[in-house]
Chain A
């Protein structure tokens, strides 16, 4: 068509982006949001642990932690950690920082939409953090907000204003995620540099791509459910309310045959993909980092791409396993049990690939490598309890016990956090021009790994013994149940001590950050001898020349992870295939 339009196009692409739409600025801003949520969520979890171990302990300047306040802590901790830490940081924080660099693009596809998503995320976080300060305090129905308790304002102290703010926060969050996901998908599809074919994309990009692909159906359905819950709360409808129910001694009638189960279906259709959104970027990064420090190709690279997508696909087919004890039809239970156990196949394939990649290699045990190995360990330890909980019969007993808490904290929370630390240590030279101290990093790694297992492994035992979750206080119960719970109290105390140790184990990391950031910029361009595009040296041509010359754009010539047999030399993706790798 019109050649003039072409020049207009290229001009548009090379113009400096408007303020605060650059993906690196936005990525750091996303990480800042997550850091706020992480600090708040960690503090809340410590309060919960202290209360469980010593129910009579009174919080300075506050007093005793009341049961409703404990449930508020549970709700806020879960919402902050799952939404604002484990979704924002890996997917949108590191996603924005690294996706354009890894695919050789100069920007995201829609920078201004990216900024809009950030503003929506920030609004969501401030709305949620404001909720404890309204009359009645924050919502108490957990991060899953099951009706009828979440649909009826008299159900509890936090279920009026606090619940409304929770709803608003999650609605903002869902909108923001949709916008950000559309941006991420369009970026990966259209902004790849010449030569960056799909099979040459690093597995990290595949992780981000799959997670974004999952975000769209998940958060859309969540939005629909939020609309209905809002109607039930304020417009006297009964989407999720049965015809008659008794709440706090009052008999309530509703028109129609609504059902709380309907919310469970819609919520978990979102909720289960959500946990894959949280962990898929970490899975991809672990593959790449293991390969890089073992100086090997990722074992079965293309199969790993398929496996990543398969995990995403199965992730949207298994939501019913959260509802085995909620009154699901037994036939539906069997179906969901089978689809859930099917996830063990791609998950095992990932683990096998990781093991095969490092098997017999002599890996450099740098801090990122240690955290990648830690990720594998937590993924296996947490994942093995998955097929157990996937059986409706076993879940009947375990569902409302600490066993489930142990399961999802190992596989999602701890593996997710290890993914974040892995990303931080691995990409710090790129983001800050400095290397984090390796010695302090090792101390941080071993202490965190020890703390994570010391905290969450005993929870399995508590759950198997029958200790229920979601309860504010387990002392002072009469009868055999009281004896059972009393016997478990030492275990609870141990878990609390371990949790405090785990929190304290993060201090070396903070000290490492402060120390490194105040030091000089000493990192070389490619300190890990990595092969992916983000480590490509900055183009020497000035931007004006880059705009006019066809030869200044980054180009990809090979897939990632091309190392020579001895591991000493490697072929980065940005280097043309002029030199042949030495044969032996």
Chain B
């Protein structure tokens, strides 16, 4: 008999994985599925225990958040790529005809308006968080369930609108910073340091621009969608995206200001 390297498992281990498996074969009535799909059910957020679509009111939200987390990971890596290029270029040099080692990096002095922009972005994150928390305010959710208007959406709309205004202010502020630098004759193409300042701030501004588009989208959904879960998802993911871009900005700002 040939050697068998994979002896078959004679007795498959009996792991009771679902309530259905709890039938021990002793007869009696079939088990009654008492799950309501609420968060109190065993399993809860455990994606393996209940069927897709029956994991409670937060299921779609959880899925959207996972998608968002991976997207943010990707965005983070774009900036990791840019920042590592920044650090490498800053310390690189060439040797000229007289054998002199030349590092032609000319540090860019940042316009002070960036501090103001940072403060504006911080405030916008606070207002965004207020909008997000409004969507999870339990009493308002119950009111809404009883049919007493849309109190969650009302409050969230106000805070999201404020966030949108502050976000646009930040973008305008970045624009002003670029204009100020250009008045000092620091252009995108003038020096490696300028390359990276403009490229990194522009790439970040593009992501914030997408963020404002998401905010507008969330406001539209708050107005039009009859699904509470949909409204909650839009506000929640938009706000988490907004926070992430805020944290990212702080990191980039520290890099650009102190590591030139």
Contacts and interface: CB of A to CB of B under 8 A. Distances in A.
Interface in B4-38: 4-6, 8-12, 14, 17-18, 20-21, 25, 33, 35-38
B117 to A, nearest CB: 22
A221 B78 contact: yes
Q: Which of B11, B20, B52 has the most CB of A within 10 A?
A: B52
Interface residues of B, number: 77
Interface residues of A, number: 88
Contacts of A216: 70, 73-74, 77
Interface string B71-106: 101111111111001001100111000000011110
A384 B73 CA distance: 34
Nearest to B49: A194
Contacts of A557: 17, 21
A115 interface: no
Contacts of B193: 256
A177 to B, nearest CB: 10
Contacts of A105: 52
B36 to A, nearest CB: 7
Contact of A5 (B17, B57, B102): B57
Contacts of B78: 220-221, 223-224
Contacts of A196: 48
Given A13-B52, A220-B74, A576-B21, A256 B89 contact: yes
Contact of B63 (A8, A186, A265): A186
Contacts of B58: 1
A360 B47 contact: no
A563 B82 CA distance: 51
A551 interface: yes
B59 interface: yes
B105 A550 contact: no
A9 B57 contact: yes
A76 interface: no
B60 A185 contact: no
Contacts of B66: 109, 185-186, 189-190
Q: Which of B49, B74, B189, B195 has the most CB of A within 10 A?
A: B74
Interface of A: 1-6, 8-10, 12-14, 105-106, 109-110, 113, 178, 181-183, 185-186, 189-198, 216-217, 219-221, 223-225, 227-228, 231, 235-239, 242-244, 255-259, 262, 265-266, 269, 296-299, 356-357, 359-361, 550-551, 553, 555-558, 562-565, 571, 576-578, 580-581, 583
Given A255-B104, A257-B105, 16 more contacts: A6-B36, A105-B52, A106-B52, A109-B67, A217-B77, A220-B80, A225-B81, A231-B188, A235-B189, A242-B94, A256-B104, A359-B2, A360-B2, A360-B4, A551-B33, A583-B10
9 contacts: A6-B36, A6-B54, A10-B53, A186-B70, A192-B47, A221-B78, A243-B104, A359-B5, A555-B18
